[in-house]
Amino acid sequence: MLFSDVIGQQEVKQHLTDLVANNRLSHALLFLGKEGSGALPLAVAFAQYLVSLPQQAAAEPVADLFGGFSPLPTDNEVSAF
């Protein structure tokens, strides 16, 4: 399903794509609405959008994706579980 398949919701679709474009995507999003509101198709379309993003993100250093902070440990850091 694509964003173009979702009827209406133009502001929400724009907000979601802006989140990705500005590297402001949260670790979780809640798509909530009454039956027939389009929340489920919008969530499916957004998931498809994320999966189909260009592979340019794979070429970027991890720190660039997180605003200069790398969530991966460096050689100087110790991970404890």
59-79 per-position pLDDT tens digit: 555 445 555 554 555 555 544
Q: Across all residues in the chain, what is the average pLDDT?
A: 78
Residues 6+ apart with CB under 8 A from 69: 63
pLDDT over threshold 90, residue 54: no
pLDDT over threshold 50, residue 81: no
pLDDT over threshold 70, residue 48: yes
In this prediction, residue 67 carries a pLDDT of: 55
Domain ranges, residue 47 = 3-56
- Our count of domains for the chain comes to 1
Residue 36 inside a domain? The answer is yes
Residue 38 inside a domain? The answer is yes
pLDDT over threshold 80, residue 56: no
In this prediction, residue 38 carries a pLDDT of: 92
Residue 40 inside a domain? The answer is yes
The answer to whether 38 and 7 are in contact (CB under 8 A) is yes
Residue 63 inside a domain? The answer is no
Residue 48 inside a domain? The answer is yes
Q: Give the C-alpha separation, 38 to 36, whole Å.
A: 6
